[in-house]
C-alpha cells in the first residue's frame, strides 16, 4: 500500500510538471504564476541566418600548432560573443580539421549586426591627441605632398583648381591642344574641412576618398613621425553627417590588455552629455595605477579612446582619475553599447576572420517545415491510436493515453531545459510515438498469454507487467545508449534527434510501465473484475 502511495505521488508530480511547461503552448493568457518559458525553434523551423567563417592566415607566418591554437581561440571568442548577443540556442561548430567555423543563428532579425559583432577585432587603445603645433605641421606637410603629387591621386580631382588655360599657336596659324595647369596648395585641408568651414571634419561624400588616401603608403610616410590620422565614430542618428578627424600620437598610452571589464550604464545627469547609455571601462589593478598616472600628469590634454582604429571620444583630462574607470560616450543606443561591451569583454580575435558563406532561411520555409512535421506527427499518432483501440480495445485506449502523455512530456522537458526543437528533433519525436506503444504491446501480449493459461485477471495483469519489465528495460536502455552516443559524437541536427529520442524513451517507459500499471491497479482495486478488455 505504501509503495502505491509513493508511485501515485510520483505520477502526480510528473503530470503537474508536464502540464506546467506544456500548457502554455496550447492555452493563451494563463495566470501570472505560470512559466514564461516557451519551446524554442531551430533555424530550420523559424528561419534565421547561417554564416560560415574562415580564420585568415594569409598575412601571418605561424606554425601549424600556432594556427591550430588561433582557430581554437577564435572559436571560443566567437562563441562568447554570440552567447552574450542573446540569440536563442545558437549552433557554433568548427568544420573538422579546417580553419572554418559554422554559426547558425535561429530567429535572428538583424544578421548584419551579428556579422559586425563576429568580425570585430576589439583593439582598444588610449592615445593622446596632438597639440596645435603638431596638427599644423601635419597639415602643411600633407598639403605640400598632395600639391606636388596630385596627378597620382585622380580621385582627388575635385580638390584641384584650374589656374590658367594657355592656347599655343604655331607659326602656320594652326591651333594646338590647349594645356590646363592645375594647382591647389591646400588639397588635404579642403578634404578635411566641412562645407560649413569647420576644420578637422570630413563630409560623408568625401569619406571614402580619405580612407583610400590613408591606406596609401606614400601618403602615410609624409605624416610627421610619431603621429597618425584617425576618423571619428559615425553619428548613428545621422549617418550621412560629417565625421571628425583626429591627429593622434601613434603610441598608445594604455591598451585593452589592461582592461578588467566593460559595462553598459545609463547616465542620469542633467545635461545631454551626461544622459543616455554609455560604456564604463574598469581597469585591472596595474592598469588602474597606470591610468591614474597618465591622467594626473597630463591635465588639460585630450586623450582619445580608440576601438578598432575608430575614435569614439577624445575628452580633455580635467583631473586625475584615481579609481581606474573611464567612460565611452557618444549618443549610443542600448544595442550599440551592449555590442561594444560584448566585444571588449570577449577579447580580440587572434587573426582576421572572413565571412565566406552566408545563408538566410526565411520564416516561410520554417512554417512549411513546422506544418509538415506536425502533420506527420498527427498522422502517426492517429494511426497508432486507432490500431491500439482496434486490436487491444480498452487496454489499447490506455496505451494511447500513455502516448499522449509521452508527447506532452517530451515538449515539457525540452521547454523546461530551454532546448531547441528542430526538424531532426521532430523526426525523433515521431519515432518515439511509434516506439511508445512497444512496451504496452509486450505487456498486453503477456497478459493475454496468462489469461489463456487460466490465471485470474489480477494475477495475469501483475504477471504481465512484472515478466515484461526486463525485456522492456533491455530494449529501451540499449536504444537510450545509442541516443547518448549520437548526442556525444554527433553535430547539431544529429544532437537534436538524439535529445528528443532520449527524452521520448524515458517518457515512454514511465508512461507504459508506471502510469498504465497504476491505472490497471485502480481498475482492479475499485471494481470486481473477472474480465478485462484486452
Identify the structural domains of the chain with CATH numbers, from first to last.
Answer: 2-40+362-526 (1.20.1640.10), 48-120+355-361 (3.30.70.3400), 125-348 (3.30.1360.200)
Percent of the chain, pLDDT > 70? 86
Contact status, residue 92 vs residue 81, Cβ threshold 8 Å: no
Average pLDDT score, the chain: 81
pLDDT at 274 over 60: yes
Query: Taking the model in full, what pTM does it have?
Result: 0.52
pLDDT at 23 over 50: yes
Convert 146-165 to b/e letters by CB count within 10 Å (16 or more is b). bbeebeebeebeebbeeeee
* Residue 39, φ and ψ in degrees, nearest 5: -65, 125
Residue 489, phi-psi category: left (phi > 0), alpha (psi -120 to 50), beta (remainder): alpha
Return the C-alpha cell found at 86. 542573446
Structure confidence at residue 339 (pLDDT) = 72
More confident residue, 288 or 377: 288
pLDDT at 386 over 80: yes
Convert 409-436 to b/e letters by CB count within 10 Å (16 or more is b). bbbbbbbbeebbbbbbbbbbbbbbbebb
Structure confidence at residue 213 (pLDDT) = 93
Average pLDDT over residues 99-116: 76
Contact status, residue 138 vs residue 247, Cβ threshold 8 Å: yes
* Residue 328, φ and ψ in degrees, nearest 5: -115, 115
44 by DSSP, 3-state: which? helix
Return the C-alpha cell found at 303. 586623450
pLDDT at 4 over 80: no
Structure confidence at residue 381 (pLDDT) = 78
Structure confidence at residue 132 (pLDDT) = 93
Closest to 314 measured CA to CA, from 328, 325, 324: 328
Read off the pLDDT of residues 221-268 as tens digits, 9 standing for 90 and up: 999 999 999 999 887 778 889 999 999 999 999 988 888 888 888 877
pLDDT at 172 over 80: no
Structure confidence at residue 369 (pLDDT) = 67
Read off the pLDDT of residues 300-327 as tens digits, 9 standing for 90 and up: 999 998 877 888 888 888 888 888 888 8
Amino acid at each position: 500500500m505504501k509503495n502505491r502511495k509513493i508511485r501515485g505521488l510520483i505520477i502526480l508530480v510528473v503530470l503537474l510538471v508536464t502540464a506546467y511547461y506544456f500548457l502554455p503552448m496550447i492555452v493563451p493568457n494563463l495566470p501570472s504564476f505560470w512559466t514564461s518559458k516557451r519551446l524554442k525553434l531551430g533555424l530550420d523551423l523559424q528561419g534565421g541566418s547561417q554564416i560560415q567563417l574562415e580564420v585568415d592566415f594569409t598575412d601571418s607566418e605561424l606554425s601549424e600548432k600556432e594556427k591550430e591554437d588561433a582557430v581554437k581561440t577564435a572559436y571560443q571568442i566567437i562563441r562568447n560573443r554570440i552567447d552574450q548577443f542573446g540569440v536563442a540556442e545558437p549552433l557554433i561548430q568548427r568544420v573538422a580539421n579546417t580553419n572554418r567555423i559554422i554559426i547558425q543563428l535561429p530567429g535572428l532579425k538583424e544578421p548584419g549586426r551579428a556579422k559586425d559583432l563576429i568580425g570585430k577585432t576589439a583593439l582598444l587603445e588610449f592615445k593622446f591627441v596632438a597639440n596645435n603645433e603638431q596638427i599644423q605641421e601635419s597639415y602643411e606637410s600633407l598639403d605640400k605632398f598632395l600639391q606636388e603629387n596630385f596627378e597620382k591621386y585622380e580621385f582627388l580631382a575635385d580638390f584641384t583648381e584650374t589656374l590658367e588655360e594657355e592656347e599655343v599657336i604655331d607659326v602656320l596659324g594652326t591651333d594646338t591642344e590647349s594645356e590646363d595647369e592645375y594647382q591647389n596648395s591646400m588639397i588635404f585641408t579642403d578634404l578635411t574641412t566641412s562645407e560649413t568651414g569647420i576644420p578637422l571634419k570630413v563630409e560623408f561624400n568625401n569619406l571614402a576618398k580619405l580612407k583610400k588616401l590613408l591606406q596609401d603608403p606614400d601618403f602615410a610616410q609624409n605624416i610627421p613621425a610619431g603621429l597618425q590620422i584617425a576618423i571619428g565614430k559615425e553619428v548613428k542618428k545621422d549617418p550621412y553627417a560629417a565625421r571628425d578627424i583626429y591627429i593622434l600620437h601613434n603610441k598608445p598610452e594604455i591598451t585593452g590588455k589592461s582592461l578588467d571589464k566593460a559595462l553598459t550604464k545609463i547616465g542620469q545627469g542633467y545635461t545631454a552629455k551626461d544622459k543616455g547609455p554609455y560604456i564604463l571601462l574598469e581597469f585591472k589593478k596595474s592598469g588602474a595605477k597606470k591610468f591614474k598616472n597618465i591622467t594626473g600628469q597630463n591635465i588639460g590634454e585630450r586623450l582619445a579612446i580608440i576601438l578598432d582604429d575608430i575614435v569614439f571620444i577624445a575628452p580633455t583630462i580635467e583631473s586625475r582619475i584615481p579609481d581606474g574607470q573611464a567612460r565611452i560616450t557618444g549618443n549610443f543606443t542600448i544595442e550599440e553599447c551592449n555590442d561594444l561591451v560584448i566585444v571588449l569583454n570577449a577579447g580580440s580575435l587572434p587573426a582576421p576572420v572572413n565571412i565566406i558563406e552566408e545563408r538566410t532561411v526565411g520564416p516561410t520555409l520554417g512554417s512549411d517545415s513546422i506544418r509538415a512535421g506536425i502533420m506527420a506527427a498527427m498522422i502517426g499518432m492517429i494511426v497508432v491510436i486507432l490500431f491500439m483501440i482496434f486490436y487491444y480495445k480498452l487496454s489499447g485506449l490506455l496505451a494511447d493515453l500513455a502516448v499522449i502523455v509521452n508527447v506532452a512530456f517530451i515538449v515539457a522537458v525540452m521547454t523546461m531545459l530551454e532546448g531547441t526543437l528542430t526538424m531532426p528533433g521532430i523526426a525523433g519525436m515521431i519515432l518515439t510515438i511509434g516506439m511508445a506503444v512497444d512496451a504496452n504491446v509486450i505487456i498486453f501480449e503477456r497478459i493475454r498469454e496468462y489469461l489463456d493459461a487460466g490465471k485470474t485477471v489480477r494475477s495475469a495483469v501483475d504477471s504481465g507487467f512484472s515478466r515484461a519489465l526486463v525485456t522492456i528495460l533491455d530494449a529501451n536502455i540499449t536504444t537510450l545508449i545509442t541516443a547518448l552516443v549520437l548526442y556525444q559524437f554527433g553535430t547539431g541536427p544529429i544532437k537534436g534527434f538524439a535529445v528528443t529520442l532520449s527524452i521520448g524513451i524515458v517518457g515512454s517507459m514511465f508512461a507504459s510501465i508506471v502510469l498504465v500499471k497504476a491505472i490497471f491497479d485502480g481498475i482492479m482495486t475499485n471494481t470486481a473484475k473477472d474480465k478485462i478488455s484486452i
